[in-house]
Structure 1
Amino acid sequence: MEIKYEGEKMKKKIPLQVLETIESYVNLQGTTFDSVDPNEFLLKFVDKDNNSDFYFNVETYKMENDFQILIDFKPSNKQTVGNRKAWIRAEQLEFNFTNWLKILEGYDSVKTVFDDPIIKAYSDEYYTEFEIIDKDADTKPFATKQILLLDDHLEGIQMKIDNFQTKENNAEIEKIKENIQELRNNLTKKSKKWVLKKLSNIWAKITNQGPNLMKEFLSEAKKQAIKEGVKFLFENGGNLLI
């Protein structure tokens, strides 16, 4: 029998075998994807890129001759950006989900004319400076004090960056402001790695605007305060960024 869900799902209305099969995927987070509210589905994952409509859904299950689950994911393979919807045996979930992740990772690593190699180089340089060693960096958010430290830093940039806006760099500065607001909106919702990748990209775009902006927003003292504050939760780290 195929099951559909309406309204709030109750775990004791779902067979234990189904719950055990999807248990390791619940609230799973990664560098390329997010686990989001599945609504009427069992599981729902989306690409972390806000400009992407890639997803992987585990919609429902049926227990007839054997235990099967209905999946829908996009892209379905390297040759298309279209989706695929299919019933599979429950034990095939890991294989299909892993293949979907490999495609997302491929998009992240491939070099194209749509990427700015200079900004990527700066972003990679900044990201490596954080030396992330936390085993849960892919799945856990920062501590509240770290979040407030980062938010203070981002707010400081937002308050002053208009002073450096000109006709020539208007589009780039507006994009930086959009990226900052996106990051501030997600500091409490995203994983440590996601936050630091976004922060590194913002720093890279500021760097690309020249020494004046670097001196104002990315002096070694300010960068070090952020890096140390993120690592060691300095009680007064925020004061160093004022």
Structure 2
Amino acid sequence: MAIPNPKDFIYIVAKDIQEILFSLRNLEADYSDIVKVLETQQLYYFHDISHNDFYFHVGIPDKKSKGAPTLFPTYFKPDRLDSESTFSGEANKNQIVEYFYEWISIVADYNSISFNEEEIFSDFVIIDDDAETKPFDNHQQIILYTFLETTVNLLEEKHPNNNNVEEIIQEANSLKNEIPLLTKRIAFKRFSKVLAKLRKFNPITYRDVYDVAKKEVIKHLLLKGVETLPKLVNSITTFLGS
């Protein structure tokens, strides 16, 4: 990411650059589970974590630009689902955000397809209207935190000094600490990945952690709210020892 000098532009253009950087940084945070930002000579360069050829980058406006609107060189691939063509052109700050949402939707659609068992919880769909913007409520956060805590404790007990297990533990601990900061969609996707890696590492350990709390129990607790499901709450809290 290249940060230009504001005084290289007239005020209105510098202001537009500031505003698009603010928007792009927010998008980076919101979709950090899907994309990463690379250090390039572009103003901002998003890169699909799982596919080298999928990117979205925004260039620096011409220093001679008079603004109204300020146009940014914009490139992204793919630009639609029915081909892997590339968009190449100029866009104002509002168009860039619209293009990004179109592009990230395409990337997410691609990521939903798997030819192996790595993504084992693809049937868990966040249906809440605020899943893209709000974290889980306090009750849901406690359930998720306790589940992760139990997973870490069990792994440390059963598989000490195992590099693969250490990686799972690190991811679980990281998620534990960030639950209040993450949207429902991102938190649950990261939770699913922890479980997927656990099952891939050792199906028996995975069963020990997960079988008592059936998939539907977890799904309903996290997606519908614990206060509406007292019997399921009793089941999972008994399992977790809370």
TM-score by length of 1: 0.60
Amino acid at match of 1:133: I
Post-superposition offset of 1:155:
0.6
Task: State which of 226, 230, 240 in structure 2 corresponds to 1:233.
Answer: 226
Q: Compared with structure 1, are the counterparts of its residues 45 and 226 closer, same or farther at alpha carbon in structure 2 (3 Å cutoff)?
A: farther
Distance 1:85 1:3 in 2: 25
Give percent identity, aligned residues only: 21
Give the counterpart of 2:190 among 180, 198, 203.
198
Q: Please give the alpha-carbon distance, in whole angstroms, between the structure 2 residues aligned to 1:65 and 1:206.
A: 52
Q: Measure, in 1, the Cα distance between the counterparts of 2:154 and 2:89.
A: 51
Q: Which residue does 1:212 correspond to in 2? A: 204
Q: Superposition pairs for residues 65-214 of structure 1, below 5 Å?
A: 66-70=68-72, 76-78=76-78, 88-90=91-93, 92-94=95-97, 96-98=99-101, 100-101=103-104, 104-105=107-108, 108-109=111-112, 117-120=116-119, 122-124=120-122, 128=123, 130-165=124-159, 170-214=162-206
Q: Does 1:4 align with 2:6?
A: yes
Structure 1 residues 229 and 203: alpha-carbon distance in aligned structure 2, compared to 1, 3 A threshold: same
Counting matched residue pairs gives 208
Distance 1:218 1:67 in 2: 54
- Deviation string 1:85-120 (CA, Å, 9 cap, x unpaired) is 986334632553245425633662566xxxx81323
Could you list the runs of 5+ residues in structure 2 that have no partner in the other structure? 8-14, 36-42, 79-86
Cα distance per residue 1:21-46 (max 9 Å; x no partner): 99998966469658xxxxxxxx9896
Q: Report deviation, 1:165.
A: 1.7
Q: Is the 8 A contact 1:176 1:202 kept in 2?
A: yes
- Tell me how large the CA RMSD over aligned residues is: 4.8
Find the aligned partners of 1:101 and 1:134 in 2 and give their Cα distance: 20
Q: Give the Cα separation in 2 of the matches to 1:65 and 1:25.
A: 19
Shift of 1:161: 0.6
What is the CA–CA distance in structure 2 between the aligned matches of 1:163 and 1:208, rounded to whole Å?
Answer: 18
Structure 1 residues 77, 233: CA separation in 2 closer, same or farther (over 3 Å shift)? same
Distance in 2 of aligned mates of 1:66 and 1:93 = 15
Give the counterpart letter for 2:135 in structure 1.
P
